[in-house]
Structure 1
Amino acid sequence: MPPTFELAWQKSSYSETGSSCVYIATAPDGTLRLRESDDPDIILATSHGPLQALIRALKAGAFEGIQA
């Protein structure tokens, strides 16, 4: 069983009230954890470098026109 620990989740400042919100937390091992308010049981783990690259790509419009 994986170790359990309490994460201090912070909501993105870009998330509007009543909309889908993105939350981020730092785990004890230094990795970042991400979750969405619509499905908080799904948690992604990443590190600073890949998350920074994703944010840069989003800001540059790299994913415009892609539909889920």
Structure 2
Amino acid sequence: MQEVIRIEGLECNHCVVRVGRAIASVQGVLDVDISLEKKEVIVDFEETRTDPGKIRDAIREAGYEPL
């Protein structure tokens, strides 16, 4: 399954690395593609192992706000 999430506060490459690591740490996440220009992330994940809520929680824990 794939989810597109806009992220408030995504401003620099450091932000991209931090958010990418946080999302990748969620069990069941298969791929993370972050666009700094669009301020969004596209996440491929196994819906039997995780859900968009857990991914959004990981983004919040990294210090950013998913929209």
Relative CO higher for 1 or 2, CA cutoff 8 Å, sep ≥ 6?
A: 2
TM-score range, shorter chain: under 0.3
TM-score, normalisation: structure 2: 0.27
Q: Which has the higher helix share?
A: 2
Q: Which has the higher strand share?
A: 2
